[in-house]
Amino acid sequence: MILRDTILASAGAALLAKFVAADDIEVGRPAYWGTHASPLVEIWALQSSRRLIGAKARAFLDVIEKAFPEKILIPPT
């Protein structure tokens, strides 16, 4: 988010994840130079099986799930 704030203040350029910059690009705030293809990224979220998931962890996972709707989910075993 620091990089996002920096480019919005016209203090530099950055390569940002789509979910970080999509809303700003949609309204034309930063200059958009295109998309960079990168290798696949894996995001793992691990939690103790003995406890319910905390509110902060659930909020994080909700953001990730919204940002990557094409995700492949491997359910716990």
Interval 13-64: pLDDT, tens: 777 877 888 888 788 887 777 777 777 767 777 767 667 778 888 888 888 8
On whether residue 44 sits in a domain, the answer given is yes
On whether residue 74 sits in a domain, the answer given is no
pLDDT value for 63 = 83
pLDDT value for 74 = 63
Indicate the pLDDT class of residue 72, thresholds 50, 70 and 90: low
Q: Describe the chain by its helix, strand, coil percentages, rounded to 5.
A: 40, 0, 60
Residue that is written with structure tokens 């034309």 in the block: 28
d(CA 7, CA 13): 6
3-state class of 58 per DSSP? helix
Domain that holds residue 44: 2-67
Indicate the pLDDT class of residue 73, thresholds 50, 70 and 90: low
On whether residue 72 sits in a domain, the answer given is no
On whether residue 76 sits in a domain, the answer given is no
Give this prediction's pTM.
0.40
